Structures are given as structure tokens and as C-alpha cells.
Amino acid sequence: MKLTYTVLVSKTIQPPGTAPGRPGVRARLVAGLSAEIVAGRWPPGSALPSVRELARSAAVSAFTAAEAYNMLVASGLVEARRGSGHFVTGTRVAPRAAAAPAVADALWERRREAAARPIRVDAGGGWLPADWQYGEGVRGALRALARRPLPDDGYGSPFGHAGLRAHLQQQWRSRGLALADDQVLLTNGASQALDLIVRTLLERDDVVAVEDPAYPPTLELLRARGLKLLAVPRLGNGPDVEVLARALRRRRIRAFFTNTTLHNPTGTTTELPVAHRILELAERHDLTIVEDDIFGELAPAPVVNLAMLDQCRRVVHVSSVSKTIAPSLRVGHALAAAPVLQRLARAKVLAALATSEIMEQLVLQVLTDPHYRRHLHALRQRLGGAQQRVQATLRAHGVELAFRPAGGMFLWGHLRSPDSVSRLWRRGVGAGILLAPGESFRPDGRATPWWRFNVAHCEAAALTSFLEGLDMRATGERGAGTSP
């Protein structure tokens, strides 16, 4: 059978490991053969030309032809039979769109619903744009790591890579928090840390206090574990401690989940008097504080958090590198008193044996990169500038802001519109704008006209045009209502 791979390249997907739109000789060869097989021109079980025949027919070296077959074997389209050659596998799999991700929370549900539309502005997203992340540092760390041998201790320690843990200890010690070796646990992002805390320290039907609004995956996690949520309003200076104090006097509350610095979604930071009051209540009522401080490194000025004030006696502290390096680096950590951390480590072993030591070595390489501190400084300044500009734009187009943070990623804004939340969200999707509705951040899930904005994504003409349309429509509705 004649091979026609060269004319089919533009119609086929790129094989793994090749750059889209720039196929080399081997990539063209693999793409052409893949297209022939998928189209049925080489039926299942068919013998393919030998390496030498393929090389001669395609005018490539035998090495290139052999590597092309190796890539097809890795893709599952071809099988290699020792002494017999290469054959099309018995089951032909046509290319198809990737399956939609499993729903993790209400925001993911909406993101999946919007996936079929082209999104130009992810106005309510929870992460930084790719060009704001420390991509160059990650690439440099990957190159350095590639020159090292693989770890030789199997799965590694349940507590995580010793070098990264020691680095974190030193960093925290420099900020006034003295930690022993058994007080630092590395996790698969902050999400795993939160999950371990919930599964280990709490039981079904326990009452836990949460902020209103709060981080949606944490709310979903607590609901999924059968916990009862008690809402504590988030104010400009932190959680409303008087509401928390009254609730503690009325009933037994096992834990309080709080996001202290550059709060998600309001952008506020817990001030020192409020932090002291929280710890006073925790001591008086035997309350565990779970401090999610994932944005702490983005603060425009150093912040004293709960873990530092408490020295991790009642505070379990959670953080990760997803906001400072890249969200795809799933490396986080938990800090706690040694007996608590021992329990979390045992739960981690039961759930996943260990975390990836290779990823942890990569993060350590980045954190010790001499340019990393410069990246952090530039990122803080960039976010501070974006905050000022986006706040001005939103207010100019009728968006009421609950707070005016000096830095960080988020703003909590009230959109004026006669539409329901659901209809307004769909109008945004229709215009290529993905918004984050406030109901996803509410412990009771009730609809609200407040929305989360990520300033790193909001300096876009498409969003400005959308807001102008809302402002004009809201103004028209008010005018119509007051006409004689």
C-alpha cells in the first residue's frame, strides 16, 4: 500500500512531544502514518513496512523511521512484535476531544458549561496569566533537575523532600516562626493539605465556622464531608470577630477556616487586632484555626499572620507555590504542632503514600534561584499597578467595590444589572467574558449581585465593552422607571 503521509500532515493532530504548527521530518512522518491508520487505510492487524522500507519510501534515515515507529507504538496505534515487525493495533482509536473534567465545585461547573464558547477574558479566574508566572525559573529548574539522578529512596518520606522542608523551615524562622522538623508537611498543593485537615481533625456533623464569602473548593470540601457550616462575615479588616464570638458562646465549634492575607475573593487582609482577637477566642473555646495563607507572598508589605502569632499551637497553616510560581506545580505545605502533623502525615500515606519528590526538588530549585526574589518583587508591583487601574475602570463603569485592596489578585464587585445572576453570567459568556458569580463563594449558596474579579485578567477591551453595555442598560432601566 502506498504511503501518503506527507500530504496529510495539515489535517492531523500533532504527535506527543512536537510543537504545533512546526512539524519536523519525524513529526511529519508520524502524523502522516497516524492519519492513514485512523482513516482506515491500514486496517487493524495490518503489517506496516519494515523500518528500512519506510526509510527508503519516505527518503529519511533508518534512525528517523525507527523513531517514528517508536512514537506510534507509544501512542497506541501500532504494536511492535519482536522478529516480525510493526502492526496496526487491533483497536483503532480515532482522535476525539478531551473529556470534560469532573466537577469539583460550583465554579468548575460554570467553567465547564462555558467551555464550548470562545472565552476572551477570564475575568473571574483564580490564577495568574501564564506570562505573569515564573516560567523562565521553572524552565531553568527543569534543565538543572534533568542533569541529576532520580531519587533512590523509593516513594520518599511521607513528610516530603527533606531539602525543601529545611528551606521552608529557614524561611519561616526568618519571619519569626520557629518550626521543628516534624512540623512541616509537604502536600500535593494546598488542596490536599485542606483535605487532610478535614478528614483527620474533624468528624461528620461537626460545626465549623467559615468566612462569608469564602474559597469555593473549601466550602465544597466541608459540605462533602458532612460538616455544618456557620458563616462569619468578612469585613475590611478581616473576619467579623464579634459574630464569631457570639457563635462560640452559643455552641461548640470545632474549627474556623480563614484566608488571612489578600483574601479570596474580597482582597482584604486580616489586621493585627483582629488576628489577636481570633487567637484569644481560639484559646478560650478550644478552637482549631485553619489558616489558608496561599496569597501571603503576594502582599505588597510584610504581614504577620496567625501562625506566626500563635507559633502553630492552635493554628494549622496551609500554603503553596501555585500563586507565586505556577498553578500547575502542585506543591504545597502544612504547618502545625507536631502531634497534629503526625496525624496528617499518616492520613497522607493512606491517601497517596507520598508526594512527588521530583516536583518538590523542582520547587526547591526555583525557590533558591537568585532571580526568584526579583520575580516576586516584580509580581507584587505588577499586581499593585493592576489593582489601581482595574479599580478605576470598574468604578467608572458603575461597578461598586466592597473594598479597595492595595495589592493581590482579587476585587469583590457589585454589578448593576436588571438580569438575574444566571442570565447575566450567560450574557457574559456570550460576549466571551467568563465571570465568577458570588453565590459560589457563599456558605449558603444564595444568589448575590457580587462577583469576583481577578485584576490580572481584567485589563481587556472586551471586558470594558461588556461593562459599558451593562452600565448603559442599568441607566436605561432606572430612567424608564422614573419616567412620567
Do residues 63 and 124 both lie within one domain? no
Do residues 140 and 263 both lie within one domain? yes
Structural domain contains residue 99? no
Do residues 240 and 330 both lie within one domain? yes
Q: How far apart are CA 64 and CA 367, in angstroms?
A: 39
Do residues 72 and 211 both lie within one domain? no
Do residues 276 and 342 both lie within one domain? yes
Do residues 337 and 350 both lie within one domain? yes
Structural domain contains residue 97? no
Burial 119-156 (b: 16+ CB within 10 A, else e): bebbbbbbbbeeebbbeebbeebeeeeeeeeeeeeeeb
Cα diameter, the chain: 92
Do residues 192 and 288 both lie within one domain? yes
Instruction: Name residues whose C-beta falls within 8 Å of residue 229's C-beta, 6 or more positions apart in sequence.
Output: 207, 208, 209, 210, 219, 222, 223, 443, 444
How many structural domains compose the chain?
3
pLDDT given at position 114: 58
Q: What is the CATH number of the domain that holds 77?
A: 1.10.10.10
Beta bridge mates, 315: 289
Q: How far apart are CA 330 and CA 393, in angstroms?
A: 34
Domain boundary among 33, 59, 88: 88
Domain boundary among 27, 62, 88: 88
Structural domain contains residue 74? yes
pLDDT given at position 299: 97
What are the backbone dihedrals phi and psi of residue 239, each rounded to the nearest 5 degrees, phi first? -65, 150
- Tell me the pLDDT of the chain averaged across its residues: 88
Do residues 111 and 42 both lie within one domain? no
Structural domain contains residue 399? yes
pLDDT given at position 259: 98
pLDDT given at position 45: 87
Domain boundary among 29, 56, 88: 88
Q: What is the CATH number of the domain that holds 443?
A: 3.90.1150.10
Burial 36-75 (b: 16+ CB within 10 A, else e): bbbeebbeeeeebbebeebbeebebeeebbbbbbebbeee
Q: How far apart are CA 213 and CA 231, in angstroms?
A: 8
Structural domain contains residue 179? yes
Q: What is the DSSP string of 203-257?
A: -TT-EEEEEES--HHHHHHHHHTTPEEEEEEEETTEE-HHHHHHHHHHS---EEE
pLDDT given at position 20: 39
Structural domain contains residue 101? no
CA dihedral 112, 117, 118, 121 (to 10 degrees): -60
Do residues 224 and 235 both lie within one domain? yes
pLDDT given at position 218: 97
If one counts every other C-beta atom within 10 angstroms of the C-beta of residue 99, the result is: 6
Q: How far apart are CA 179 and CA 173, in angstroms?
A: 7
Residue labelled with grid coordinates 497506541: 76
pTM of the predicted model, to two decimals? 0.79
Q: What is the CATH number of the domain that holds 189?
A: 3.40.640.10
Do residues 161 and 284 both lie within one domain? yes
Do residues 260 and 195 both lie within one domain? yes
Structural domain contains residue 93? no
Do residues 48 and 194 both lie within one domain? no
Residue labelled with grid coordinates 422607571: 481
pLDDT given at position 23: 43
| Positions in the chain short of pLDDT 50 | 1-23, 92-104, 478-484
**What domain range is 421 assigned to?**
106-133+374-482
Nearest to 191 by CA among 313, 104, 269: 104
Structural domain contains residue 167? yes
